[in-house]
A and B are shown apart, each in its own frame.
Chain A
Amino acid sequence: MAATVKRRRLPFSPWHLLLMPLSLTFALPLLQMVLTSFMTAADINRFPPRLIPTQLSLAGYQALFAESQILRWLANTVVVAAISIVGHLVLCSLAGYGFARLRFPGRTLGFFAMVATVMVPIQLLMIPTFLMFSRLGIANTLAAAFVPWLASAFGIFLMRQFFLSLPRELEEAARLDGCGTFGAFRRIVLPLAKPALATLAVFTLLGSWNDLVWPLIAISDERWYTLQVGLTSFQGTRRTQFELLMAGNVVATMPLLIGFVLAQRWFVASMTFTGLNR
């Protein structure tokens, strides 16, 4: 009898012994990042190091906003992410649908060429892309940061897998009712693709917001930095100002972190979705 009562109350499980220290190891550094951003330099240099600040200080943020163009970088990053998401949603869903459902000459070749690009290391593309962007006149502008993010092999592949899983009858019914290919896609297929589109949007947001390599190479004008490039530019010059570095980290990380915690179910469902649609 005791066993049933216990089961209902969820007794202490040995799994807690694994999960509790593990979760703290994963979450504490981020908490420390936030706490350190509110510390005074004196608190940071104290020995032994402390997790909780003795007094709340905004010195790090004041220095950050006064000495860098962080708000501008934030705006740049938001613009890049927004354009990337719209680009991905439009181009990847169209291409994914084309590869999943339409038969046309060159389809197989096009699809394989597209998927094969995943294996090409970015480092191979850095030099020619930099040269190409320079000649097109978009190096050192925001376009350099978002053009590579307008579509991706991953996104097209993800959408294709989703469309393959939809029953064909839906579109055939729409076609019989007089819809064209595009009409059937837009009115019947796309509304059903909301979970896949949400996943794509989440991954594009994470990827474009956190991208470092492309903007690092293509943008040298401080006005057009994204947050990530701005952060790494602090590294060389302000190695000792940890309150400022952490404040910058908080500004760059918090929007996505808060978004994740608020919409966790949805976020994890998105991740799960990719796992299932491998």
Chain B
Amino acid sequence: MVPSTLEAPRTRTGSARSLRTHRWRRTAGRAATGWAFAGPGTLLVVGLSIFPAVWAFLISRTRWNGIAPARDLGWGNYQRMVEDPELWESVRHTLLLTALFVPSSIAFGLVVAIALSQPIRLIRFYRTCIFVPFVASAAATGILAGYVFNPQFGSANELLRRLGLPAQQFLEDPRQVLVVICLIALWGQVGFVAVIYLAALQDIPKDLVEAATVDGASRWQVFWHVTVPALRPVTVFTGVWQTITVLQLFDLVFTTTRGGPLNASQTVVYYVYELAFQTQRYGYGSAVAYGLFAFTMLLTVAMILYSRRAKVEAF
């Protein structure tokens, strides 16, 4: 242990033994105080994830429906993942959704933040409007989206009709469904990203922008060479955060399409839910969830390492 600054300087008067017991007591005392503070919260958080996660690993090595005795399969479930076409389909959907959602939420959030940081009229009204969907739950959002994107009487098609564009099937078209889910997720999340960028924009030193302007940089050049680099730590943070969010996006899929039509919006998390709670395949479901966990962890670690190497202090 690193000696704390409060530790008394060593004295030569006490014998070696009493010094040792003294030290031990101090360490024990510090441990007791420290864990009295940190213990309850940590125990709850770790207990509700590490313990179930270990249990899930044991389950993932069995064939089990929750009722009949579990049968040990070793790595069987994991081998099966490799040749499960439905899994790879859901991986493809998840990656597509991530590729659509993460860059667009960051780019869109940044543009909205810059627009909302302008000293113009109605700006508080605009901020309220753009942020308010973030407060709505995924359940409410999903039900509302089902209404707005209803092919027969939804207002989305009505808008297209007035613009002279052909009507769409939206959530009922396997080729459109992921894009529409991405749009719905953006509707709810852009306000959050924008608020984080708004705060970061205010932190950019004004003289930096002024100096660049004096040196003859155009507004566009200032944006690319001053603003964007200054925001990089926030961008890395938001990128990791939004990636974890979209990889684990469940409630929106559940309340809009339940994985349909024709499994076109079945993502990995939805597949796990279906395996576990619709078809009671606890073992295989846990194995797939472990695959997702490993992937999330690899991706997060890679992004953090990259940001460390690029000297972005986001974490």
Using a CB–CB cutoff of 8 Å, the interface residues on chain A facing chain B are 10, 13, 15-16, 18-20, 22-27, 29-30, 32-33, 36, 44-49, 51, 91-92, 94-99, 102-107, 110-111, 113-114, 117-129, 131-132, 147-148, 150-153, 155-156, 181, 185, 206, 209-210, 212-213, 216-217, 227-229, 231-232, 234-235, 242, 245-246, 248-249, 252-253, 256-257, 260-261, 264, 268, 271-272, 274-276, 278
B37, A94: Cβ atoms closer than 8 Å: yes
Of the A-B pairs whose beta carbons lie under 8 Å apart in the complex, a sample of 20, sorted by A's number, is: A15-B115, A15-B118, A29-B148, A48-B161, A49-B158, A91-B40, A104-B30, A110-B38, A123-B292, A125-B49, A126-B272, A127-B276, A128-B52, A210-B136, A246-B143, A248-B143, A257-B132, A261-B128, A261-B132, A271-B199
Alpha-carbon gap, A217 to B273, bound state (A):
10
Alpha-carbon gap, A155 to B142, bound state (A):
27
B115, A276: Cβ atoms closer than 8 Å: no
Alpha-carbon gap, A55 to B130, bound state (A):
29
User: Which residues of B sit under 8 angstroms from A227, Cβ to Cβ?
Assistant: 139
Alpha-carbon gap, A244 to B295, bound state (A):
41
B286, A268: Cβ atoms closer than 8 Å: no
A129, B187: Cβ atoms closer than 8 Å: no
A105, B27: Cβ atoms closer than 8 Å: yes
- Asked if B198 lies at the interface with its beta carbon under 8 angstroms from chain A, I say yes
Alpha-carbon gap, A228 to B112, bound state (A):
29
Alpha-carbon gap, A127 to B290, bound state (A):
12
Closest to B152 in A: A47
Complex partner residue of A102 from B37, B136, B142, B191, CB under 8 angstroms: B37
Given A94-B38, A252-B139, A271-B196: A232 touches B255 (CB 8 Å cut-off): yes
B127, A212: Cβ atoms closer than 8 Å: no
- Asked if B8 lies at the interface with its beta carbon under 8 angstroms from chain A, I say no
- Asked if B222 lies at the interface with its beta carbon under 8 angstroms from chain A, I say no
User: Which residues of A sit under 8 angstroms from B293, Cβ to Cβ?
Assistant: 119-121, 124
User: Which residues of B sit under 8 angstroms from A111, Cβ to Cβ?
Assistant: 38, 42
- Asked if B45 lies at the interface with its beta carbon under 8 angstroms from chain A, I say yes
Closest to B276 in A: A127
User: Which residues of B sit under 8 angstroms from A49, Cβ to Cβ?
Assistant: 153-155, 158
Alpha-carbon gap, A75 to B124, bound state (A):
33
Alpha-carbon gap, A25 to B188, bound state (A):
11
* Given A98-B37, A125-B52, A275-B199, 13 extra CB contacts under 8 A: A16-B121, A26-B187, A94-B41, A102-B30, A105-B1, A127-B286, A151-B40, A210-B138, A229-B139, A232-B254, A257-B136, A275-B196, A275-B198
Give the contact stretch, choosing among B10-18, B53-61, B72-80, B211-219: B53-61
A253, B269: Cβ atoms closer than 8 Å: no
Complex partner residue of B122 from A16, A32, A96, CB under 8 angstroms: A16
User: Which residues of A sit under 8 angstroms from B163, Cβ to Cβ?
Assistant: none
**Interface class of chain A by DSSP:** helix
User: Which residues of A sit under 8 angstroms from B50, Cβ to Cβ?
Assistant: 113, 117
B125, A23: Cβ atoms closer than 8 Å: yes
Alpha-carbon gap, A108 to B93, bound state (A):
38
- Asked if B100 lies at the interface with its beta carbon under 8 angstroms from chain A, I say no
A129, B52: Cβ atoms closer than 8 Å: yes
Alpha-carbon gap, A110 to B40, bound state (A):
12
A151, B44: Cβ atoms closer than 8 Å: yes
Alpha-carbon gap, A92 to B203, bound state (A):
28
Alpha-carbon gap, A253 to B139, bound state (A):
10
Alpha-carbon gap, A217 to B274, bound state (A):
12
Q: Whole-angstrom distance from the CB of A217 to the nearest CB of chain B? A: 7
B125, A152: Cβ atoms closer than 8 Å: no
User: Which residues of A sit under 8 angstroms from B125, Cβ to Cβ?
Assistant: 23
- Asked if B107 lies at the interface with its beta carbon under 8 angstroms from chain A, I say no
A10, B119: Cβ atoms closer than 8 Å: yes
- Chain B positions 190-212 with a Cβ under 8 Å from a chain A Cβ: 190-192, 195-200, 203
B286, A124: Cβ atoms closer than 8 Å: yes
Q: Give the most central of B38, B200, B292: most A CB within 10 Å.
A: B38
User: Which residues of B sit under 8 angstroms from A127, Cβ to Cβ?
Assistant: 56, 59, 276, 282, 285-286
Alpha-carbon gap, A33 to B139, bound state (A):
13
Closest to B190 in A: A26
Alpha-carbon gap, A122 to B276, bound state (A):
13
B198, A272: Cβ atoms closer than 8 Å: yes
- Asked if B314 lies at the interface with its beta carbon under 8 angstroms from chain A, I say yes
B143, A104: Cβ atoms closer than 8 Å: no
Closest to B29 in A: A104
Given A49-B154, A102-B33, A256-B135: A29 touches B144 (CB 8 Å cut-off): yes
B198, A114: Cβ atoms closer than 8 Å: no
